[in-house]
Amino acid sequence: MRTNCFFYRKKKYSIDPNGVITRKSPSNIALIKYWGKHNKKIQIPLNSSISYSLEGVYTVTRLIYHLKERKKRNPSIKIFFSGKEKTSFLPKIFEFFHRISFYCSYLLDFNFIIETYNTFPHSSGIASSASSMSALALCIMEIEKKLVSSLKEDFFLKKASFLARLGSGSACRSIYPGLVVWGHHKSIKGSNNFYAIPYPYKVHPIFTKMVDTILIIDEKPKKILSSKGHQLMNIHPYAKERFKCANKNMNHLISILKVGDLQEFGELIEHEALTLHAMIMTSRPYFLWMKPNTLNVLYSVWNFRIQSKKNIYFTLDAGANVHLLYPIEEKKSILKWIYSDLISFCTKIIESFCY
């Protein structure tokens, strides 16, 4: 696939020298996980993934830009997170700007202040890099839209996804609502490694109204960041089998989504979640993201499912927290159970929807 279309080519433009843009973007939870990327290429996944974007779990970013008087190599950037200046975020942001300035040359003409906040704890296993990088990519595309009045919405979103990917792989999926695919898969038309696309096939109505209740078990930042975990897949003895399995699971999910088989869906997403954790547990160096309370929740879900016959399934991200997915029709009784039986295992419960 050619990505030349994403280069910004105009040499001259006019824009207000100062401006403010605000965009919000959701986190997402993967059903088929992206874990492993090509070593020497930038953010190219080793398997395709699919996620739900999450309503109510998002980042809001305000991008303040000032046209520079004299062009320098790099823009000056200040970043504030929940009102406090965060110089520790700067290396990642500079790296991001460095990567994307190749495609958005106008960025070098500005200085920036980024003000951002999340509706959830950062670095806790909820994909904060996904929502923050996608929100920032959307803000940057808003600048591009000011420079190119003919810019079409479709291109706006595609390029936002393309840019977000260069910040954090899974961020490219947060640009779209609902079910979103990233990474080439031969059974999914339009899927590619450079930007995400909305899931293009028929989805049974049951999967268009799913609830995601997120149990925060550990709010502390992770000890191993996902970028390191991805790297470890390049020397992982089971990596090849994992990528084959992810491919097969994607094919299976396509038919599940079509026919609306909830039990098969649940089995598949739990298998994917445990496989992701199995990969990090068997990496060198190895690591364990789950906490005792993660296991308490998983066993409770399995027991409750057997006793109540309710359709509640878990998935996990790169961390200790648990996402519980279930159809909206079962929300009342399941939430009641969560608040009575699981509350003691977590520090916070976040209610969200897969929209």
Could you tell me the smallest distance in angstroms from the CB atom of residue 51 to ligand PMV? 6
**DSSP per residue, 151-208:** --HHHHHHHHHHHHHHH-GGGGGGGSSSEEEES--TTSTT--SSS-EE--S---GGGG
Nearer to ligand PMV, 51 or 293 (CB): 51
Q: Of 130 and 254, which has the nearer Cβ to ligand PMV?
A: 130
Summary count for the chain: helices (H), strands (E)? 8, 11
Least distance to ligand PMV from the beta carbon of 269, Å? 12
With respect to ligand PMV, which residue has the nearer C-beta, 46 or 318? 318
Quote the least distance from Cβ 137 to ligand PMV, whole Å: 13
Q: How far apart are CA 12 and CA 106, in angstroms?
A: 10
Cβ–Cβ < 8 Å for 189, 200: yes
**Closest distance between ligand PMV and the C-beta of residue 248, in Å?**
17
Residue ranges of E strands in the chain: 18-32, 49-67, 77-81, 84-85, 110-118, 179-182, 197-198, 210-216, 313-316, 322-327, 348-354
Smallest separation (angstroms) from ligand PMV to the CB of 226 = 4
Pick between residue 147 and residue 225 the one whose CB is nearest to ligand PMV. Answer: 225
Q: What one-character DSSP code corresponds to residue 345? A: G
Q: Is the dihedral of CA 323, 326, 328, 330 positive or negative?
A: negative
Binding site for ligand PMV (CB under 6 A): 30, 33-35, 49, 51, 127, 129-130, 168-170, 226-227, 230, 276, 317-318
Identify which of residues 28 and 110 has a Cβ nearer to ligand PMV in the complex: 28
Question: Residue 101 is encoded by which pair of tokens?
Answer: 């300035």
Query: Minimal CA–CA distance to 145: which of 2, 10, 1, 26?
Result: 10
Least Å from the CB of residue 179 to ligand PMV: 13
Q: How far is the CB of 31 from ligand PMV (least distance, A)?
A: 9
Nearer to ligand PMV (CB atom), residue 169 or residue 327: 169
Judged on CB neighbours under 10 Å (0-12, 13-18, 19+), 224 is middle
Find how far residue 310's CA is from the centre of its chain.
28
> CA–CA distance from 222 to each of 35, 168, 288, 317, 333 (Å)?
16, 16, 10, 11, 32
Cβ count near 257 (within 10 Å): 21
Residue placing its CB nearer to ligand PMV in the complex, 30 or 57 = 30
In the complex, the smallest distance separating the C-beta of residue 168 from ligand PMV, rounded to whole angstroms, is: 4
C-beta of 317: minimal distance to ligand PMV in Å? Answer: 5
Q: Return the ∠ at Cα 43 (arms to 4 and 237), rounded to 5°.
A: 140
